[in-house]
């Protein structure tokens, strides 16, 4: 998240410059604000003033009420403090960046929201991250079935939903004769079932005993990346199917 951290700092400094009598660069402000609002991992961590004040012209009367220059600087620093702390401690992987970009291009808000929840919870709440990962996969399966006008049991477990989607998208192992494809697609099915089992054993979905195993950050990261990769794979396959 180094690039995101630097953009947040740049945006913070731009606001400070504007708030303390410096140049108001509306073009740069719009560019940075649009970029940050589209960044999945920080959308709901941005200060409220960023969302409410769409331009520096709108920001000016807001910040005037915060006192003199020193008070304004302090106010802006405090508003961005939690976000910058989060970004300093956040660790992502190249795969997560690719998945985030893919989901942005798919432009399905509910998928992006579930992915964002999984990412944000993987460090501070591993159990919740595993739950969000399962929800993400369930959501993409149901979305694909809805778009294909296929009936399904809304309360079905993830492996059942995945099996139904796989059949419709020609991803079931028994739909292929080549051993390599059967092996890969069997692996996909096993991975999805494994995620369901991991979620049932380690997540917060069903409550737990005092002696139950607790997931660590590495378990959460595994679940999040599996779910994200499979979500992109399934939806890309669906898009390819409707194009042909």
In this structure, the answer to whether residues 191 and 176 fall within a common structural domain is yes
Among 89, 113, 136, the domain boundary falls at: 89
Residue 177: exposed, middle, or buried by beta-carbon count in 10 A (0-12, 13-18, 19+)?
Answer: exposed
State how far the Cα of 126 lies from the Cα of 109, in Å rounded to an integer.
23
In this structure, the answer to whether residues 65 and 146 fall within a common structural domain is no
Nearest CA to 228 out of 140, 150, 153 is that of 140
In this structure, the answer to whether residues 81 and 128 fall within a common structural domain is no
**What proportion of the chain, given as a percentage, has pLDDT over 90?**
46
In this structure, the answer to whether residues 47 and 158 fall within a common structural domain is no
In this structure, the answer to whether residues 61 and 150 fall within a common structural domain is no
In angstroms, what CA-CA distances link 8 with 16, 36, 39, 141, 173? 12, 7, 11, 34, 46
In this structure, the answer to whether residues 106 and 183 fall within a common structural domain is yes
Q: Count CB atoms within 10 A of the CB of residue 145.
A: 17
Looking at residue 198, what is its pLDDT? 66
Angle between helices 26-37 and 56-64 (to 10 degrees): 90
In this structure, the answer to whether residues 115 and 74 fall within a common structural domain is no
Q: Are 138 and 162 in contact (CB under 8 A)?
A: no
In this structure, the answer to whether residues 112 and 212 fall within a common structural domain is yes
In this structure, the answer to whether residues 74 and 118 fall within a common structural domain is no
Among 43, 60, 89, the domain boundary falls at: 89
Among 68, 89, 110, the domain boundary falls at: 89
- The number of folded domains in the chain is 2
pLDDT in tens, 77-130: 999 998 888 787 666 666 777 888 888 777 677 888 888 888 878 877 888 888
Q: Is the pLDDT of residue 173 over 90?
A: no
Q: Output DSSP code: residue 154.
A: T
In this structure, the answer to whether residues 205 and 99 fall within a common structural domain is yes
Nearest CA to 75 out of 20, 22, 3, 10 is that of 20
Q: Which domain holds residue 172?
A: 94-243
pLDDT in tens, 184-227: 889 888 888 888 776 555 544 445 554 456 777 788 888 898 89
């Amino acid at each position: 998240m180094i690039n995101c951290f630097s953009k947040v700092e740049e945006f913070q400094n731009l606001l400070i410059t504007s708030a303390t009598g410096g140049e108001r660069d509306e073009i740069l402000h719009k560019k940075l604000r649009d970029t940050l609002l589209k960044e999945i991992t920080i959308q709901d961590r941005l200060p409220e003033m960023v969302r409410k004040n769409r331009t520096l012209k709108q920001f000016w009367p807001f910040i005037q009420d915060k006192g003199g220059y020193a008070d304004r600087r302090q106010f802006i620093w405090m508003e961005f403090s939690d976000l910058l702390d989060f970004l300093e401690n956040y660790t992502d992987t190249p795969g997560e960046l690719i998945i985030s970009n893919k989901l942005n291009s798919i432009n399905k808000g509910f998928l992006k929201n579930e992915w964002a929840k999984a990412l944000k919870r993987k460090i501070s709440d591993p159990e919740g991250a595993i739950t969000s990962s399962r929800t993400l996969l369930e959501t993409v399966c149901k979305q694909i079935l809805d778009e294909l006008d296929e009936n399904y049991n809304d309360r079905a477990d993830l492996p059942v939903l995945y099996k139904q989607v796989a059949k419709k998208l020609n991803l079931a192992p028994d739909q292929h004769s080549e051993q390599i494809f059967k092996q890969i697609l069997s692996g996909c099915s096993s991975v999805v079932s494994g995620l369901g089992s991991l979620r049932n054993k380690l997540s917060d979905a069903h409550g737990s005993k005092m002696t139950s195993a607790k997931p660590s950050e590495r378990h959460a990261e595994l679940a999040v990346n599996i779910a994200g990769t499979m979500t992109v794979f399934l939806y890309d396959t669906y898009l390819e199917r409707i194009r042909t």
